[in-house]
A and B are shown apart, each in its own frame.
Chain A
Amino acid sequence: MAKLLDKQRYKCALAAMQTVQAITRAIPVLHSGPGCAQKLSDSIGSSGYFSPNIFPCTSINEKDVVFGGTKKLETTIENALKVIDADLYVVLTGCIPEIVGDDTGEIVSHFENAEKPVIYASTAGFKGNNYIGHEQIIDAIIDQYIEKSEDREKGLVNIWADVPYQDLFWLGNIRELEKLLEELGLTPNTIFGYQRGIDNINRISKAEFNLLVSPWVSVGNMKKMEKKFGIPYLHYPTLPIGAFETSKFLREVGKFAGVDEEKAETIINEHENYYYYLIERYADMFLETRVMAKQFSVVADAQYALGITKFLVNDLGLFPAKQFVVDDTPKKFQEQIKKEFQNLNYGIKADVSFETDGYKIHNEIKEHDYHGYPLILGSYYEKELTEEMFGHYLNISWPVQDKVVLNDFYAGYTGGIKLIEDIYSVAVQRWN
């Protein structure tokens, strides 16, 4: 039911065009109004081999609303294949064709024998947000493109993480997760980012297992692949940030993949030694920065709210105030995610609220006693609020207006150090 979306932190399902954009040489073809792509892309960082103004679009007008837009869709796909040099064409439907009842699947089926694969995903804006849209795209690839394989490639693991572009750090994070798996002696396979594309999609069904690193996004995709291709999956709900969680992650993945325990421990030991070498050098900073209090709140999607909470509590010894999950997490996942927030060191439990109304979130933050200057990691909406409270603010979730990220990431040991650098780069700007 329609609700007051105050300070919105997600976009609609059609914004999953960005999920397609993250697959190198895959092009979204939009069956939508003329301006959806521009509206759903970010004002900076949307260029690339394809950018939103390259996305073919049926640019539906009033006449198409009355008479249907299937003919226009057909010529748009047909000519997109001629004009655009891509490996995969993904037709995404917007609100209009889904309300007026255009049979997009039927039109797309005319291109079964095209030189390049053409698939489609139902991503009408009213069907859900871009986290759901992301799942729809992966489902479309599973259902319409990937073929089942009887062969299994030894050690091959597909890694799935949160939503590209919606997650500011998606590119760096997924590369770091790949590196960690490589260290365990596994062969990671991902479909997003530099030099990852159709060849990686073609390998998906040969993997030994799927690794999902996300509190809830893509759980459905994993189940589908398990059923359709017989690929088991390991669901690791926390994005590993910093030593505590990353070591745990390596142990669990290692165990699931049958990696020798001693090997995993050696890798962990090496990483932790260096991690704590760095922290030791700056131990004074952690203890003697006068303006840093203990309490913090994260206002972000489930991925960052959970990952950062665990990091700040388990690695840095901070204390969680209320945490806010703002991605409209489906009800069926909420209990399980809540439990993760209660599973912190020393029996510490973080109170978590699944809330999409920014007004209510801000009121709760304002009313809370942080026992000092609050540390707020959130979207750009939290900037002014935190300044009013003389707190420390870091823009880590959408919308992002306060920083530019080309390659940075928070995942893994290296990512944890980066997050420390970012937090303290804010804190050290003040004396008391």
Chain B
Amino acid sequence: MALNLDRSNVATRENRIGSITGYIGSLSDLANQSNCGTLKGCSRCFSQSSTCLSSCALGQLSAIRDIAIIHHGPSGCSAASADTYYLDKVMAKKRGITNNTVYVGTDMDEKDTIFGSSESLRRIILEVNRRYSPKAIFVTSSCATGIIGEDIDSVIDDVKEEVEVPVVAVHCEGFKSRIWATGFDISDHAVLSSIVQPPKQKRNTINFKNFYESARPEIIAIFKSFDLEPIFLYCNSTVEELSHISESLATTCICGTLGNYLGNGLEEKYGVPYIRTINPLGIAGFETWLREIGKVTDRSGAVEKYIEEQRAIYLPQIEGIKKELKGLKAVLGMGPGYTFEVSRVLDELGIKVVWALAWHYDKKYDNGDVPPSMQYLLENDVDFEASVADQQNYEVMNILNKYQPDLYLSRHPGSTVWAIKNGTPAVYVADEYMIFGYKHTLEFAQSLLESIHNRSFEKNLARRVKLPYTDWWYQQNVDEFLEEVKK
């Protein structure tokens, strides 16, 4: 599907690639229905809070160094600016650099919702530019500005003459999509359409889309042995670096949900190949991914040599731990960019996935294919019960209560806490590199083992707390509140 970079607004994942947030069945059924085009997402007549797409969009953009975000809306929308301030400072400090990105709000009030506030917004943009001289200014909407029809695009057109750096409209009304990952697309769209420049020369760089670059030093080392240089995006990126990403040899991403739009966009517009393998988590994932990079960059020989060396170090150790993990049962709840990848790793480690929840599901990626992680599982005869729920915690708890697994794994804040209160050992797979490559796959296996071994914390806590759900709910089927899509 062609991406339209001339418009400031991005179509939602629901509309663009048929993504859904409501489904219960099995992995094979989910995949078959996606392939046949019969998959229809369900809505819910009861739901619990989840995530705003603006958090994803602005979480990405605000990690870029020395830029400004102007969040036009009431003060709650820009509340994330406080976390951003902290994150930008500590992430830069870790690298030994500085980041002077500012994220401000506009504290819209009731009068603004009636009379509009484009004049105030204009003044605010100019004042932020005067105060901080940012390298780019992203001006973003909110639910309130969206509904009253505040014309942010016109305000931006109006100030462009007075501001010497890119001023970019970022349309992220929270009601637009139930799939917060649409926010990732929105941020990629802003970068692609306003920051990235056409290539002037080819470089031996690989664009590496990730979240918080924790594995940066080791990835630099791995790529160096192939005479490649990774450019990590967008945490600690500079606007200057971003302007050159069209000159890279390829784009890769630690999470398909995160990098899909940018990867496809760079490929479509500038011919930069997007690595579309399963992700580099676990052994099969890491090797498949590395080999593809070798192929695309014509470095297969060096890659095979590296794989051989590393296998000798790590495979015997991983095999050792597998014996102790064999037969454990797990439930997991993550974004789809991880659920089906981590399921594969658990299968590799001999752990049985009894139920996998994906917080949403993309029937197709922007290139029109079924997500590779699903394809891989099906080709390898792995199947399990699966559901799609946008972090509906009550459904997770119902499943945990029914299946009583040995382990619950989740990637999103606020989810593992509830498993622990249920007495289920839980592992928070927060860091995107937690299962990256051989070394971290081994560490991951070790931490799973440690988590099920010492159960003191969850036992102590579970013994003392009452769960907030009624007995009635635990007696219902998980799909109690799912409704067929109304035509």
Q: Does A399 sit within 8 A of B, measured CB to CB?
A: yes
- B426, chain A: closest CB distance, angstroms: 13
Q: Does B77 sit within 8 A of A, measured CB to CB?
A: yes
Tell me the count of chain A residues lying within 8 A, CB to CB, of chain B.
Answer: 73
Q: Does B113 sit within 8 A of A, measured CB to CB?
A: yes
Chain A residues closer than 8 Å to B131, beta-carbon distance? 6, 359
Which residues of B (10-46) have their CB < 8 Å from a CB of A? Answer: 45-46
Q: Does B6 sit within 8 A of A, measured CB to CB?
A: no
A2 interface neighbour in B117, B391, B415, B466, Cβ under 8 Å: B117
CB atoms of B174 and A53 under 8 A apart: no
Chain A residues closer than 8 Å to B79, beta-carbon distance? 8, 11-12, 15, 39-40
A2 to B89, CA, bound (A): 27
Q: Does A420 sit within 8 A of B, measured CB to CB?
A: no
Q: Does A406 sit within 8 A of B, measured CB to CB?
A: no
CB atoms of A83 and B78 under 8 A apart: no
Chain A residues closer than 8 Å to B81, beta-carbon distance? 7-8
Closest to A15 in B: B76
Q: Does B417 sit within 8 A of A, measured CB to CB?
A: yes
CB atoms of B108 and A2 under 8 A apart: yes
Q: Mark B49-63, 1 if CB is under 8 A from A, else 0.
A: 111111100000000
A52 to B415, CA, bound (A): 10
CB atoms of B74 and A126 under 8 A apart: yes
A57 to B469, CA, bound (A): 16
A55 to B48, CA, bound (A): 6
A75 to B44, CA, bound (A): 10
CB atoms of B46 and A399 under 8 A apart: no
Closest to A384 in B: B89
Q: Does A35 sit within 8 A of B, measured CB to CB?
A: yes
Which of A6, A35, A62, A380 is most buried by chain B, counting CB atoms within 10 A of its CB?
A: A35
Which listed segment binds B: A93-101, A222-230, A411-419?
A93-101
CB atoms of B86 and A380 under 8 A apart: yes
Chain A residues closer than 8 Å to B51, beta-carbon distance? 34-35, 38
Chain A residues closer than 8 Å to B418, beta-carbon distance? 51, 53
Chain B residues closer than 8 Å to A56, beta-carbon distance? 46-49
Q: Mark B412-436, 1 if CB is under 8 A from A, else 0.
A: 0111011000000000000000000
A2 to B49, CA, bound (A): 28
- B236, chain A: closest CB distance, angstroms: 17
Chain B residues closer than 8 Å to A13, beta-carbon distance? 76
Q: Does B380 sit within 8 A of A, measured CB to CB?
A: no
Which residues of B (282-334) have their CB < 8 Å from a CB of A? Answer: none
Chain A residues closer than 8 Å to B180, beta-carbon distance? 34-35
CB atoms of B473 and A82 under 8 A apart: yes
Q: Does A304 sit within 8 A of B, measured CB to CB?
A: no
A369 to B48, CA, bound (A): 51
- A240, chain B: closest CB distance, angstroms: 28
Which residues of A (46-71) have their CB < 8 Å from a CB of B? Answer: 46-47, 49-62, 64-65
- A404, chain B: closest CB distance, angstroms: 14
CB atoms of B175 and A61 under 8 A apart: yes
Chain A residues closer than 8 Å to B413, beta-carbon distance? 38, 43
CB atoms of B82 and A398 under 8 A apart: yes
Chain B residues closer than 8 Å to A39, beta-carbon distance? 52, 54-55, 76-77, 79-80
CB atoms of B85 and A380 under 8 A apart: yes
Q: Which residues of B contact A (CB under 8 A)?
A: 45-55, 72-83, 85-86, 89, 102, 104-113, 117, 120-121, 124, 127-128, 131, 142-144, 147-148, 174-178, 180, 390-391, 393-394, 413-415, 417-418, 465-466, 468-470, 472-473, 481
8 closest A-B pairs by beta carbon, nearest first, are A35-B52, A12-B76, A125-B74, A399-B82, A79-B46, A33-B174, A37-B49, A2-B120
Q: A85-B466, A86-B468 are in contact. List 6 more A-B contacts (CB 8 A).
A: A10-B75, A34-B50, A35-B50, A83-B472, A95-B144, A379-B82
